[in-house]
Amino acid sequence: MSRTVRIGVDVGGTFTDLLLHDPRRGLIWPGKLPTTPHAPNEAITAGIARLLEETSTAPGDVAGIVHGTTLVTNTLLERTGAVVGLLTTSGFSDSLEMGRETRFDTTDLLARPAQPLVPRHLRRGVPGRIAADGSELQPLEKRAVLAAVRDLVDQGVEALAVALMHSYRDAGHEHRVRDLVARAHPGLPVTLSSAVAPVIGEYERAGTACLNAYVQPLMSRYLDDLRDDLTAMGIDAPLRIMLSGGGVTTLEDAKRFPVRLLESGPAAGAIAAAAVARTLGEQDVVSFDMGGTTAKIAVVQGGRPRLTHDFEAGRVDKFKPGSGLPVRLTVVDMIEIGSGGGSIAAPDALGLLKVGPRSAGSVPGPVAYGRGGERPTVTDADLLLGCLDAENFLGGEMRLRTREAHKALTREVAGPLGLDTADAAAGIVEVVTESMAAAARMHLSEQGKDPADFALLAFGGAGPAHAYGLAKSLKMPRVIVPMRAGVMSACGLLAAAPTVDEVRSLPSPLADVDWDQVAALYDEMTSRATETLQPGDPQLVRVRRSADMRYLGQGFEIEVSVPEQDLGPTGLGRIRTAFDSTYRAVFGRSLDGAVEVVNWRLSMQLPGHELSAEGGHARRGEASRGVRSVYFPGHGLLEATVWNRYELTPGTELAGPAIFEERESSCSFGPDCRIRVTDDLTLVVEVDRA
């Protein structure tokens, strides 16, 4: 019998979420347990072992595991990566320091940019030069390369980044450096900028190579150890990794290019939101993923999350563009806010209530968890306001400590501010809600969109509990809360399609494009993508081609879809028309000037997976659990009916105030809401905007 079981594992800052799917049995089984920051593998293996036991699944029945992780991001933020050396063209070793020569905050005289990952004393310039047209101006000097690398190794370098001028046009010099280093220092990991980011932009390309080298040794060890742990459990299935752009890739490709995993975990949530939106026939939704540490907001239109190819990692000030390290990779376009269930609340120096971005994480966690936390958090406020059931949190596995949460909130917030404890808890919820609403407004307005035109699709451990307040603040007409919302990112891991994104730079006015060169680039990208994906049936492969284009003289580009067939002089008019149409959609108008192509892109994708479960959920008891007092933004404390989501009947229509509980999350809706239960127990909530 063929193996059918697949498992998704998403490691977050507070909880590790898991989901087991067996289509043969029509089974979808979630799991959630606290993350083990000191050794993420421990929570992963413990969670998988528990899923297998609870579903009576043998390790040998597992056909595949898909993993999303924040380890790359955490390594960068904590600056715990490898000691990296950088090899550049002579005269360009200070590019990382110079950056774009701009200040991210012109009003702050003390503002400092993010420090380069490679300090100046570990950068070396070597003779040899490729011109902008790809020709060789000066041969690469072998002796200089070997001497520079030997010196860096003597200084303790653990990984090497190579970023030579114009290697995106001709990577010959970088390839020669790689071969020389492989012979002289066979154990030294080498990242070539022409391999990880073969695009124009010396600073960004070098920075991407440095970041890849910085995290590569750690990620290689982590992924190898995880693979060994799974093998020891008797699981010999392929281990695939979620990419920042929402696709999944092989273990070996992830080890080679770990920089592409920067937004691995958050991307999974947006992919899951897109899948739910398609199932419900919703065209425009805002994906709202609130976990224990952060909240992530992304736009999904036409059943797909919006992607971007520029990203900024490791910001000095998380909310200020320009304060981080720019990298070139494909990521789901989202905004991340330091607002999660574990976000700490406290008065600031001016006596104003602040919530986040500091988080209690999984260790020690919120006060109510009883794991040593002493500072009140959003979760503690939710508990005191009736949004959480102390006896049934995580299905009753983790009993929340209401008395301790009340004491901490009184001591740290209510007392200093002269407030009643209940009012202080409500204030925490209102502050965190407005913080998220402000971020959502900014994110959507930057795309020329109005939140009122979208439905809010909420998930994550804390997202559903705050969805009603956020929707009210943004004047959104509808809230959608999928079943298993607390582990939706793990659902996204299993639904995601294996994908390879490739890009090559060939700057040229559109009228003067060398189409033979473009064809050669696409042949190279197609070969590389096919080698990684290894599709069994070529008919299942979906290919999308696009180009980064701009009006001649502009300093930024927009991505434009280009035809797969007729990509040549005869298709020139269609490409120009597509550019003008895309430009108008973004900026509201188009111009008459000449157009330039900067980058050519290819995305190759295999089909994703549908998560199917048996219909007709069997009811085992009463859906209603009685009533309790719950705080609703704009209404205060009201008596709300408590519903067990697992016992709801598809097609049921209910009115608020109501609270819905499941093992991994809960959600509450005020008296101005009408709730409909779909066939798969998704809650579709109409919110009165009057």
Burial profile 395-423: b = 16 or more Cβ within 10 angstroms, e = fewer: eeebebbbebbbebbbebbbeebebebbe
How big is the chain by its Cα radius of gyration, in Å? Answer: 26
Say yes or no to pLDDT of 617 above 50: no
The residue-averaged pLDDT of 135-159 equals 96
611 within a domain of the structure (yes/no): no
Say yes or no to pLDDT of 615 above 60: no
The residues, ordered by sequence, that sit 6+ positions from 186 with a Cβ below 8 Å of its Cβ are none
**340 and 440 belong to one structural domain:** yes
Least trusted range by pLDDT, from 279-293, 312-326, 371-385, 606-620: 606-620
**420 and 307 belong to one structural domain:** yes
**473 and 413 belong to one structural domain:** yes
The residues, ordered by sequence, that sit 6+ positions from 217 with a Cβ below 8 Å of its Cβ are 81, 82, 158, 159, 189
**147 and 122 belong to one structural domain:** yes
Residue type, 556: F
360 within a domain of the structure (yes/no): yes
Say yes or no to pLDDT of 672 above 50: yes
> What is the C-alpha to C-alpha distance for residues 575 and 595, in angstroms, rounded to an integer?
10
The residues, ordered by sequence, that sit 6+ positions from 153 with a Cβ below 8 Å of its Cβ are 85, 185, 188
The residue-averaged pLDDT of 381-385 equals 96
Residue type, 540: L
Got the DSSP string for 205-236?
A: HHHHHHHHHHHHHHHHHHHHHHHHHHHHTT--
The residue-averaged pLDDT of 626-647 equals 93
**356 and 478 belong to one structural domain:** yes
Q: Any alpha helices (H) in 93-201, and if so which ranges?
A: 95-98, 142-154, 172-184, 193-196
Question: Using one digit for the tens of pLDDT, what is the confidence trace for 72-94?
Answer: 888 887 788 999 999 999 999 99
Q: How many CB atoms lie within 10 A of CB 4?
A: 15
Per-residue confidence (pLDDT) for residue 616, from 0 to 100: 40
579 within a domain of the structure (yes/no): yes
Say yes or no to pLDDT of 619 above 60: no
Say yes or no to pLDDT of 620 above 80: no
**Under a CB-based contact definition with an 8 Å cutoff, are residues 483 and 681 in contact?**
yes
> What is the C-alpha to C-alpha distance for residues 351 and 438, in angstroms, rounded to an integer?
21
Tally of CA atoms within 13 A in the half-sphere of 28 that contains its CB: 18
The residue-averaged pLDDT of 358-366 equals 86
**Under a CB-based contact definition with an 8 Å cutoff, are residues 407 and 424 in contact?**
no
The residue-averaged pLDDT of 565-576 equals 84
Which residue, 570, 605, 640, sits at the end of a domain?
605
Say yes or no to pLDDT of 318 above 70: no
Structural domain boundaries, residue 630? 624-687
- Residue in the structure block whose two tokens are 């060939």: 506
Specify the CATH number for the domain of residue 362: 3.30.420
616 within a domain of the structure (yes/no): no
Per-residue confidence (pLDDT) for residue 634, from 0 to 100: 87
Q: How many CB atoms lie within 10 A of CB 45?
A: 19
Question: Using one digit for the tens of pLDDT, what is the confidence trace for 462-506?
Answer: 999 999 999 999 999 999 999 999 899 999 999 888 888 999 999
Question: How many percent of the chain have pLDDT more than 70?
Answer: 98
Least trusted range by pLDDT, from 18-27, 114-123, 386-395, 605-614: 605-614
Per-residue confidence (pLDDT) for residue 347, from 0 to 100: 93
pLDDT band at 540; cut points 50, 70, 90: confident
First to last CA, the chain: 57
Got the DSSP string for 366-420?
A: -GGGTSS--S-BHHHHHHHTTSS-TTTGGGGTS---HHHHHHHHIIIIIHHHT--
Least trusted range by pLDDT, from 277-281, 320-324, 350-354: 320-324
The residue-averaged pLDDT of 230-237 equals 94
Number of structural domains found in the chain: 5
Q: Any alpha helices (H) in 446-589, and if so which ranges?
A: 463-474, 488-495, 515-533, 572-587
Per-residue confidence (pLDDT) for residue 420, from 0 to 100: 94
543 within a domain of the structure (yes/no): yes
CA-wise closest residue to 380 among 335, 345, 354, 349:
345
**65 and 180 belong to one structural domain:** no
**294 and 434 belong to one structural domain:** yes
Which strands form 159-163's sheet, in the order they lie side by side?
A: 123-126, 84-89, 159-163, 190-192
**299 and 359 belong to one structural domain:** yes
Per-residue confidence (pLDDT) for residue 587, from 0 to 100: 86
pLDDT band at 639; cut points 50, 70, 90: very high
- The pairing of beta strand 673-677 with beta strand 683-687: antiparallel
Say yes or no to pLDDT of 613 above 70: no
Question: Using one digit for the tens of pLDDT, what is the confidence trace for 265-311?
Answer: 888 999 999 989 988 999 899 999 998 888 899 999 888 898 888 88
Mean pLDDT, the chain, integer: 90
Per-residue HEC secondary structure of 574-632 comes to HHHHHHHHHHHHHHCCCCCCCEEEEEEEEEEECCCCCCCCCCCCCCCCCCEEEEEEEEE
194 within a domain of the structure (yes/no): yes
Question: Using one digit for the tens of pLDDT, what is the confidence trace for 93-113?
Answer: 998 888 877 777 778 777 788
Long-range contacts of 522-529 (CB under 8 A, 24+ apart): 522/567, 522/600, 522/602, 525/600, 525/602, 526/602, 526/604, 528/500, 528/502, 529/500, 529/502, 529/602, 529/604
Per-residue confidence (pLDDT) for residue 612, from 0 to 100: 62
- Answer positive or negative: Cα dihedral of 143, 146, 152, 154: negative
**69 and 111 belong to one structural domain:** no
175 within a domain of the structure (yes/no): yes
Question: Using one digit for the tens of pLDDT, what is the confidence trace for 172-231?
Answer: 999 999 999 999 999 999 999 999 999 998 999 999 999 999 999 999 999 999 999 999
Per-residue confidence (pLDDT) for residue 256, from 0 to 100: 95
Specify the CATH number for the domain of residue 196: 3.40.50
Question: How many percent of the chain have pLDDT more than 90?
Answer: 64
Per-residue confidence (pLDDT) for residue 109, from 0 to 100: 78
Residue type, 167: S
Per-residue confidence (pLDDT) for residue 35, from 0 to 100: 87
Per-residue confidence (pLDDT) for residue 290, from 0 to 100: 93
Per-residue confidence (pLDDT) for residue 145, from 0 to 100: 96
Per-residue confidence (pLDDT) for residue 621, from 0 to 100: 66
**Under a CB-based contact definition with an 8 Å cutoff, are residues 466 and 431 in contact?**
no
**122 and 48 belong to one structural domain:** no
The residues, ordered by sequence, that sit 6+ positions from 199 with a Cβ below 8 Å of its Cβ are 168, 205, 328, 503, 504, 505, 599
**356 and 429 belong to one structural domain:** yes
612 within a domain of the structure (yes/no): no
- The pairing of beta strand 658-661 with beta strand 653-655: unpaired
> What percent of the residues of the chain are helix, what percent strand, and what percent coil, each to the nearest 5?
35, 30, 35
